């Protein structure tokens, strides 16, 4: 077993997988990418993430680990070049806080917009707006004020976490027929996202928009059919 070998189990449309791919790219770490079919999980995935049975899973030598936020910190502590976590403990705490906000509040609200219709969808759009407003305020007046990225001049952990989910916002807007990233309501967030998407490493990992759109349309159709079936 080569103790330096890095293998990533992921799936192409997963923003959690993209987080890890982007961090490894920013660090210049060579890795082998293994595409998983999450509807037919491989023995390798089940063996290496028996608790959640989800991707991404990073295997460094013979050491497997799961959960993208955990993996990102491991990557930063293992490969020191181009740090993605802030050096200052308070800033590190805040970066972790906002990463959890992305996973526990913003992400679920966006998911609900995609899954729901009518009044329920309206309420979910309201929740996305509330959450984006919080980020907008942080970028304009908070800790991240006057920074190009959340991480400073360069992409940091929070850019990776929020950015890798945010390209879905435009896809969902088109499929669900709603407006989410309003450039007038959220000018700083909007320009940050455009800047993030223009980065070379980001362009290399985000799948083409038409492929994401086709995937999202199929998924949306399936979810809408399931909603219909569940109606009394
Ligand atoms: N909290 C996890 C979420 C990972 C996740 O939801 N992965 C999805 C793909 S996007 C998955 O493997 N789903 C398979 C399943 O739920 O069975 C992380 O941050 O890594």
Q: 6-78 and 89-230 share one CATH topology?
A: no
Q: Residues 78-117, buried b or exposed e (16+ Cβ, 10 A)? A: ebeeebbbbeeeebeebbbebbebbbeebbebbebbbbbe
Number of H-type helices and E-type strands within the chain = 10, 4
- pLDDT-derived band at 3 (thresholds 50, 70, 90) equals confident
What is the 210 CA–ligand 1 centroid distance (Å)? 22
Q: How much is the average pLDDT of 118-131? A: 96
- How many whole angstroms separate alpha carbon 220 and alpha carbon 111? 11
Instruction: Give the per-residue pLDDT at 146.
Output: 85
Mutate to test the pocket of ligand 1, among 55, 114, 207 (most ligand atoms within 8 A of CB): 55
Class of domain 6-78: alpha beta
Q: How much is the average pLDDT of 82-86? A: 97
How many whole angstroms from its chain centre is CA 136? 18
User: Is residue 224 a contact partner of residue 218, using CB atoms and an 8 Å limit?
Assistant: no
Please give the mean pLDDT across all residues of the chain: 95
- pLDDT-derived band at 151 (thresholds 50, 70, 90) equals very high
16 lines ligand 1 (CB under 6 A): yes
10 lines ligand 1 (CB under 6 A): no
- How many whole angstroms separate alpha carbon 46 and alpha carbon 89? 35
Domain boundaries of the chain, sorted by first residue: 6-78, 89-230
pLDDT at 27 over 80: yes
For 139, what's the count of Cα atoms within 13 Å in the CB-facing half-sphere?
Answer: 21
CATH topology of domain 89-230: Glutathione S-transferase Yfyf (Class Pi); Chain A, domain 2 (1.20.1050)
């Amino acid at each position: 077993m080569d103790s330096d070998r890095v293998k990533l189990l992921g799936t192409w449309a997963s923003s959690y997988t993209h987080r890890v791919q982007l961090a490894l790219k920013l660090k210049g770490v060579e890795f082998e990418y293994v595409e998983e079919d999450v509807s037919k999980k491989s023995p390798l995935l089940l063996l290496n993430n028996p608790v959640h049975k989800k991707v991404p899973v990073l295997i460094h030598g013979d050491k497997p680990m799961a959960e993208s936020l955990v993996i990102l910190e491991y990557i930063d502590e293992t490969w020191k070049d181009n740090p993605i976590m802030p050096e200052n403990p308070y800033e590190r705490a805040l970066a972790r806080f906002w990463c959890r906000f992305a996973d526990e509040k913003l992400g679920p609200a966006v998911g609900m917009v995609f899954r729901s219709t009518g009044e329920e969808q309206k309420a979910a759009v309201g929740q996305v707006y509330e959450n984006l407003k919080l980020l907008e305020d942080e970028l304009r007046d908070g800790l991240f004020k006057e920074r190009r990225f959340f991480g400073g001049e360069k992409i940091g952990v929070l850019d990776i976490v929020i950015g890798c989910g945010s390209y879905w916002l435009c896809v969902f807007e088109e499929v669900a027929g709603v407006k989410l990233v309003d450039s007038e309501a959220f000018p700083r967030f909007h320009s940050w996202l455009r800047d993030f998407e223009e980065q070379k490493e980001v362009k290399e990992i985000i799948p083409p928009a038409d492929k994401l759109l086709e995937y999202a349309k199929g998924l949306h159709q399936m979810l809408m059919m399931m909603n219909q079936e569940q109606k009394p």
